[in-house]
Amino acid sequence: NYDSDCLLKSHKIVKNNNTHVNFERMKFKIKIEKARINLDNLFGGDPILGPASNEVLNANNDLLLDEIKPALEDSLSDLFTSIANKITGIFTYDELFPNN
């Protein structure tokens, strides 16, 4: 179960005498309530250490999530901002917002 909040600000830029929309880096926060992790082939497939490691990770998943959450938020922020700018870079401002 997860939830996210994002804030995406934009401004107009001029490229090739056309006005386009460009987004600043997205502010992205994710909330993950519970996660279940199952890693395969740990310790060369050891039948005792592999399942035991998964148990430890799942028993302490809040600690693991706290560690990876900042990197996950940064990566998703960069990815979504890049996708948004690729989409808006194709179209002019007037094509995206014809009545403005």
- Within 8 A by CB and 6+ apart from 46, the residues are none
Q: What is the pTM of this model?
A: 0.75
Q: Evaluate the CA torsion angle 5, 8, 74, 81 in order and state its sign.
A: positive
pLDDT of 100 higher than 80? no
Residue 79, both tokens: 């990815």
Please say whether the beta carbons of 22 and 36 come within 8 A. Answer: no
What are 29-72's pLDDT values in tens digits?
999 888 888 889 889 988 999 999 999 988 988 888 899 999 99
Q: Of 51, 32, 30, 31, whose CA–CA distance to 42 is shortest?
A: 51
**What is the structure's pLDDT at 61?**
86
What are 24-36's pLDDT values in tens digits?
999 999 998 888 8
Q: Domain extents for the chain?
A: 10-96
